[in-house]
């Protein structure tokens, strides 16, 4: 068949612009065309995007990436879109820095913070996955997007949908933090608060995707959405000067980001962009919701689902969709896992703030608290390079720190009153020293 010139041109352009091959079942390997889909028809295992890595050799290089925009789209060749990015043009490329003061406090040699609390526009790692999912939703021709969320995803979907001129329905557990609810509502989505936990929300969203035919980013667009999480890993490697950290500590909720950071490392190794130093991955969960870490510690083949009970609401997923793949990556990479109590999470939030000037939410507190436990137990050697992935911003969850700080009472604007305040804080400091 002879195609008209215009279609041949756009076909040619498409073929040249994208290295995406197909969807492939993670278990049986059956391949599927690039359409909205969550699982394999044969075994109901998740499907994943596969690429023509052979065609990337020599074309996707450090130089080609460095020539890209200062956003997550500099890794576009390794993302599952066909045309140009249509969302998240300012997302990603967040700071990675050497945390010298924190490292000194912990007695480790080389510690880095990858800081997605500064991600744009919604201050969590979710802007990465949503940038890809919304672009994909537009390519597929959807006009309505939605999500099953523990808070940050709803926030990000609402923001990106607004900027892309799409309608949004966001489904959340009813008891989320106020900052996340108001921060989401300002973008004008339809919010659906569900009486239940995340796993109840997610189950309902599967039915909604079927019945309403919307793009539920982490359900029927899940294989495309999850690929966006790789950009967190690509950035770590590039920002370390095209090197991989030896140890990477990552929070686990649904189990998307941890395996995708590892996939990013492996793709860069495969393309000769970084050297293979055998990077090890470590899972961080809250003690009140630790199905994956529990399975790692006990050597279980399959994790046991839990009912979450923790202040770390953004990572409170008791039955993680990709928990099994987190276990696999931990095992294959030679890593481990740890869980942190709510008190340890709060201490870690304050430690990161006090030493490095970064305010993270309980998910970040969990990750740092678990990194500390893994270092202190010797699972992570203190003299090797460690990256801690901070995935969310503390200003969205200020209620967890209510009552944690003492301030002097309000004073008249008089120097004598100020002198009293100075004395008050001196007493406080002395009391803290004698208590420790």
Contact residues for Zn ion, defined by CB under 5 A: 25, 27-28, 30, 40, 42-43, 45
Among 111, 113, 253, 311, binds ligand PLP (CB under 6 A): 253
Place of tokens 């430690």: 351
Largest Cα span, the chain: 90
Residue 314 binds ligand PLP, judged by CB under 6 A: yes
Residue 249 binds ligand PLP, judged by CB under 6 A: no
In contact, 258 and 252? CB cutoff 8 Å: yes
What, of Zn ion, ligand PLP, none, does residue 233 touch, CB below 5 to 8 Å by kind?
none
- CB-neighbour burial class of residue 30 (10 A; exposed 0-12, middle 13-18, buried 19+): middle
Among 152, 306, 387, 397, binds ligand PLP (CB under 6 A): 152
Question: Side by side, which strands form the sheet with 47-51?
Answer: 31-32, 20-25, 47-51
- When the beta carbons of 43 and 275 are compared against Zn ion, the nearer one is 43
Ramachandran angles phi, psi of 392, nearest 5°:
-155, 165
Among 392, 394, 397, 400, binds ligand PLP (CB under 6 A): 392
Among 80, 173, 245, 255, binds ligand PLP (CB under 6 A): 255
- Identify the DSSP state of 122: T
The site that binds ligand PLP (CB under 6 A) totals a number of residues, namely: 17
Residue 391 binds ligand PLP, judged by CB under 6 A: yes
DSSP 3-state of 173: strand
Residue 296 binds ligand PLP, judged by CB under 6 A: no
In contact, 367 and 115? CB cutoff 8 Å: no
Residue 257 binds ligand PLP, judged by CB under 6 A: yes
- When the beta carbons of 20 and 315 are compared against ligand PLP, the nearer one is 315
Structure tokens, 85 = 């990015």
In contact, 275 and 243? CB cutoff 8 Å: yes
Cα torsion 371, 372, 377, 383: sign: positive
- When the beta carbons of 18 and 310 are compared against ligand PLP, the nearer one is 310
What, of Zn ion, ligand PLP, none, does residue 279 touch, CB below 5 to 8 Å by kind?
none
Among 65, 252, 338, 380, binds ligand PLP (CB under 6 A): 252
What, of ligand PLP, Zn ion, none, does residue 148 touch, CB below 5 to 8 Å by kind?
none
- When the beta carbons of 50 and 200 are compared against Zn ion, the nearer one is 50
Residue 285 binds ligand PLP, judged by CB under 6 A: no
DSSP 3-state of 71: coil
- Identify the DSSP state of 261: H
In contact, 132 and 59? CB cutoff 8 Å: no
The nearest distance, CB 120 to ligand PLP, in angstroms, is 15
Residue 25 binds ligand PLP, judged by CB under 6 A: no
């Amino acid at each position: 068949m002879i195609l008209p010139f215009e279609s041949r041109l756009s076909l040619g352009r498409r073929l040249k612009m994208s290295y995406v091959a197909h969807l492939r079942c993670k278990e049986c390997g059956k391949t599927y065309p690039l359409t909205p889909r969550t699982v394999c028809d044969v075994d109901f295992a998740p499907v994943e995007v596969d690429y023509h890595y052979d065609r990337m050799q020599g074309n996707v290089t450090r130089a080609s990436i460095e020539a890209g925009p200062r956003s997550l789209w500099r890794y576009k060749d390794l993302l599952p879109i066909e045309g140009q990015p249509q969302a998240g043009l300012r997302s990603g490329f967040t700071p990675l820095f050497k945390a010298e003061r924190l490292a000194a406090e912990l007695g480790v040699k080389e510690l880095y913070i990858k800081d997605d609390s500064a991600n744009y526009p919604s201050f969590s790692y979710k802007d990465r996955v949503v940038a890809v999912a919304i672009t994909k939703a537009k390519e597929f021709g959807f006009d309505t997007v939605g999500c099953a969320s523990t808070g940050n995803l709803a926030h990000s979907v609402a923001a990106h949908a607004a900027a892309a001129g799409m309608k949004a329905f966001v489904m959340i557990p009813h008891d989320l933090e106020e900052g996340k609810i108001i921060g989401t509502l300002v973008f004008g989505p339809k919010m659906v608060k569900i009486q239940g936990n995340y796993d109840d929300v997610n189950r309902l969203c599967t039915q909604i995707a079927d019945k309403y035919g919307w793009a539920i980013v982490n359900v029927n667009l899940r294989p495309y959405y999850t690929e966006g999480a790789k950009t967190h890993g690509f950035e770590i490697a590039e920002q370390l000067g095209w090197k991989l950290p030896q140890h990477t500590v990552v929070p686990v909720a649904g189990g998307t980001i941890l395996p995708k950071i590892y996939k990013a490392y492996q793709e860069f190794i495969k393309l000769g962009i970084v050297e293979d130093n055998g990077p090890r991955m470590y899972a961080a969960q809250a003690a009140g919701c630790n199905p994956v870490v529990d399975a790692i510690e006990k050597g279980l083949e399959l994790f046991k689902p839990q009912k979450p009970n923790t202040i770390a609401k953004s990572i409170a997923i008791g039955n993680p969709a990709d928990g099994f793949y987190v276990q696999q990556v931990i095992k294959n990479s030679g890593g481990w896992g740890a869980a942190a109590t709510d008190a340890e999470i709060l201490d870690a939030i304050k430690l990161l703030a006090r030493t490095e000037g970064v305010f993270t939410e309980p998910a970040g507190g969990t990750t740092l608290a678990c990194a500390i436990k893994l270092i202190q137990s010797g699972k992570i050697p203190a003299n090797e390079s460690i990256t801690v992935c901070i995935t969310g911003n503390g200003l969205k969850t200020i209620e967890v720190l209510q009552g944690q700080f003492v301030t002097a009472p309000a004073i008249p604007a008089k120097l004598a009153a100020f002198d009293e305040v100075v004395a008050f804080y001196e007493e406080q400091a002395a009391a803290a020293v004698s208590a420790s």
